[in-house]
Amino acid sequence: MEIRKPNELEYEKIVSFSPQAIFDGTLGEVKPSDEKVKQLIEPLLQKGSYYLIASENGQLLGWILMGRSKDSFTEKKCGFIYELFVLEEWRGNGIAKRLMESGMEHLKQDGYSEVRLSVYAGNQAIKLYEKLGFTDRTITMSMLI
């Protein structure tokens, strides 16, 4: 398996799968249109965020989208993982872990000493994040009224 930045064709494939990635990551709560995905992703890419993909024999297995964020209270800059996704048929093979490790190494090389991410409560990826050393920092709560 190879982890690297995607070429243009691979980027287009990522964008086409992104609505499903968001749907899965939000546990079925959000199913954005292709247009909405582009509205979310393009500003991140324009500000320096980038993808790394996992591929094997020219086949896309998954990706991570990462870049810079800023703490709203302290203005401290940190690395941020915006999206992690492994195509369903490749899950359970350690690809997400490899993408995370590679992504964190890239963010470290980019000069960040801290990495953050957001995840929906109940998402199975929480187990991976905890194994990698992530801990709760903030919790967003909601209530229907």
| CA atoms of 53 and 73, how far apart (whole Å) | 32
pLDDT, tens digit (0-9, with 9 covering 90-100), for 112-144: 999 999 999 999 999 999 999 999 998 888 899
Q: Is residue 140 part of a domain?
A: no
pLDDT at position 28 over 90: no
Long-range contacts at 61-66 (CB < 8 A, ≥ 24 apart): 61/1, 61/86, 61/87, 61/90, 61/95, 62/86, 62/87, 62/90, 62/95, 62/96, 62/99, 63/6, 63/14, 63/99, 64/99, 64/100, 64/102, 64/103, 65/41, 66/103, 66/106, 66/107
pLDDT at position 1 over 90: yes
Section 27-37 average pLDDT: 88
Q: Is residue 81 part of a domain?
A: yes
Q: Is residue 16 part of a domain?
A: yes
Section 61-80 average pLDDT: 94
CATH number at residue 50: 3.40.630.30
Section 55-70 average pLDDT: 96
| CA atoms of 50 and 10, how far apart (whole Å) | 13
Q: Is residue 64 part of a domain?
A: yes
Q: Which structural domain range is residue 110 located in?
A: 2-131
34 falls in which pLDDT band (50, 70, 90)? confident
Section 89-101 average pLDDT: 97
Q: Is residue 139 part of a domain?
A: no
pLDDT at position 50 over 90: yes
Q: Is residue 141 part of a domain?
A: no
Domain total of the chain: 1
pLDDT at position 31 over 90: no
Q: Is residue 65 part of a domain?
A: yes
Q: Is residue 38 part of a domain?
A: yes
pTM given for the model: 0.91
